[in-house]
């Protein structure tokens, strides 16, 4: 344990200095002598169990930029300058200096890379082979998950026809601070994420000791999410189906003991739908007393739909805040759950014109969301009818999970022409479909330190 603490303190200091920039001026000093590198399986597992670093510290700028909420002018004015600018999709200066959201995400990646470098130096014995596999699989999963979160914020929607030349993100695959940071292509970025997740899927346990650790259903579920963002629908279906095969539990919103309807936050953390647990360290701009739920979205819930009371709290002034996250507190859930899997598989059935199967998956989910005996099952007559309903239900069920930004980007590539609008001080701000601003600017201090190309605006 002493070795782990010493190593973490030292690496955290190095990360703070370099911000993963490969900036030479910070590398002239020799490392502190006598620093121990984790070299046993329990020590490596200890690094991966850093809950505060790897489970509840996700970047959340995609949710700030999205449209499931709005701010009043007074609430907007109460925010720091960067969040005010981010809310109205300004072209630059969206992150403070130092750029903590970017550097924190890459700092977390350091843990996964440390494990992947160290574990191959440990010979797996028959008695430890299962643990060796699982630890390596966890590291692959965590690295892929972080790269995907970063890519969703700082790169545009994946487009197969241009991916080899489109800007992706820096893929730091080493703990070597001397390695310079440079931007990989969108194709390289997504290939690495998929390769890591497929490696993880082959190594992980089916049932983890806790849902804060990755597992086979988590890897399959995240693969499905990645392929959905790429509009690789056959592959999305394949892995959503695999994940459901591993875990298909759905909460019954009528009577689940894991739901406390009168609580400030009704859903208990680690509930039966959760496959992998992760959160955004929620910024003040998204707290539910401030972030008002889109009024059209709120009105789209039927009075017999239990989500209308479980997901929303009245502000006693005609507006509502969101309280339905699977954290059981103010955190915004970004993990993998079975509800998302059923919605993905329903959408993919519809896209393949398997309309009966699409209805079965959607109905299986929604009957658990409505007051018992009131739900009327869907029957689809056309592919477009099915997609319209499924995508509507996807937005309703998965709001405030850092998925809406991803959905807007990939659906606009399908021609949905979703534009976003904000009104502040009676002035309207618009983000047009497929705008270059759907890739947030990389923090200016990182661009200055590394010389990487900035996202075009």
Buried b (16+ CB within 10 A) or exposed e, 199-214: bbbebbbeebeebbbb
Q: What are phi and psi of 431, to 5 degrees?
A: -110, 110
Per-residue pLDDT of the chain (457 residues; tens, 9 = 90+): 444 444 444 344 344 333 344 333 322 333 333 346 788 999 999 999 999 999 999 999 999 999 999 999 999 999 999 999 999 999 999 999 888 899 999 999 999 999 999 999 999 999 999 999 999 999 999 999 999 999 999 999 999 999 999 999 999 999 998 888 899 999 999 999 999 999 999 999 999 999 999 999 999 999 999 999 999 999 999 999 999 999 999 999 999 999 999 999 999 999 999 999 999 988 999 999 999 999 999 999 999 999 999 999 999 999 999 999 999 999 999 999 999 999 999 999 999 999 999 999 999 999 999 999 999 999 999 999 999 999 999 999 999 999 999 999 999 999 999 999 999 999 999 999 999 999 999 999 999 999 999 999 9
* pLDDT value at residue 36: 62
Which residues, 6 or more positions from 65, have their beta carbon under 8 angstroms from its beta carbon? 86, 87, 89, 405, 440
* pLDDT value at residue 179: 87
pLDDT in tens, 374-427: 999 999 999 999 999 999 999 999 999 999 999 999 999 999 999 999 999 999
Q: What is the CATH number of domain 2-450?
A: 1.25.40.390
Q: What is the pTM of this model?
A: 0.93
Tokens of 375: 């739900």
User: Which of these, 181, 152, 160, 191, lies nearest to 334 by C-alpha position?
Assistant: 152
* pLDDT value at residue 73: 98
Which residues, 6 or more positions from 319, have their beta carbon under 8 angstroms from its beta carbon? 292, 293, 295
Buried b (16+ CB within 10 A) or exposed e, 125-160: eeeeeebbbbbbbbbbbbbbbbbbbbbbbbbbbbee
Query: H or E segment at 445?
Result: helix 444-450
């Amino acid at each position: 344990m002493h070795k782990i603490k010493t190593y973490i303190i030292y690496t955290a200091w190095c990360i703070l200095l370099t911000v993963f920039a490969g900036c030479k001026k910070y590398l002239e000093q020799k490392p502190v002598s006598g620093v121990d590198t984790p070299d046993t399986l329990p020590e490596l597992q200890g690094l991966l169990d850093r809950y505060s670093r790897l489970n509840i510290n996700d970047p959340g700028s995609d949710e700030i930029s999205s449209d499931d909420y709005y701010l009043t002018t007074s609430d907007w004015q109460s925010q720091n300058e960067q969040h005010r600018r981010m809310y109205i999709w300004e072209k630059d200066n969206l992150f403070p200096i130092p750029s903590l959201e970017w550097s924190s995400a890459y700092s977390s990646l350091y843990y996964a890379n440390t494990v992947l470098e160290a574990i191959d130096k440990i010979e797996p014995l028959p008695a430890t082979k299962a643990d060796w596999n699982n630890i390596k699989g966890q590291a692959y999963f965590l690295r892929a998950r972080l790269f995907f979160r970063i890519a969703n914020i700082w790169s545009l929607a994946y487009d197969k026809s241009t991916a080899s030349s489109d800007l992706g993100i820096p893929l730091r695959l080493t703990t070597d601070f001397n390695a310079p940071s440079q931007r990989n292509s969108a194709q390289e970025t997504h290939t690495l994420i998929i390769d890591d997740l497929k490696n993880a899927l082959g190594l992980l346990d089916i049932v983890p000791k806790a849902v804060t650790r990755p597992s086979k259903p988590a890897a399959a579920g995240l693969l499905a999410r990645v392929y959905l963002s790429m509009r690789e629908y056959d592959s999305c279906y394949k892995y959503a189906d695999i994940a459901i095969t591993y875990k298909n539990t759905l909460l019954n919103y009528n009577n689940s003991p894991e739901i406390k309807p009168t609580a400030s936050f009704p859903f208990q953390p680690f509930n039966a739908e959760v496959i992998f647990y992760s959160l955004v360290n929620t910024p003040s701009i998204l707290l539910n007393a401030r972030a008002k739920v889109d009024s059209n979205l709120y009105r789209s819930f039927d009075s017999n739909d239990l989500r209308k009371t479980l997901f929303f709290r009245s502000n006693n002034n005609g507006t509502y805040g969101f309280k339905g996250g699977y954290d059981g507190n103010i955190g915004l859930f970004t993990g993998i759950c079975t509800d998302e899997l059923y919605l993905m598989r329903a959408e993919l059935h519809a896209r393949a014109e398997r309309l009966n199967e699409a209805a079965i998956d959607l109905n299986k989910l929604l009957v658990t969301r409505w007051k018992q005996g009131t739900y009327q099952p869907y029957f689809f007559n056309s592919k477009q009818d099915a997609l319209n309903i499924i995508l509507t239900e996807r937005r309703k069920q998965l709001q405030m999970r850092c998925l809406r930004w991803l959905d807007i980007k990939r659906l606009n590539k399908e021609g949905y022409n979703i534009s976003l609008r904000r009104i502040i001080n009676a002035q309207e701000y618009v983000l047009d479909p497929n705008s270059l601003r759907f890739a947030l600017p990389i923090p200016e201090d990182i661009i200055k330190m590394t010389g990487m190309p900035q996202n075009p605006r």
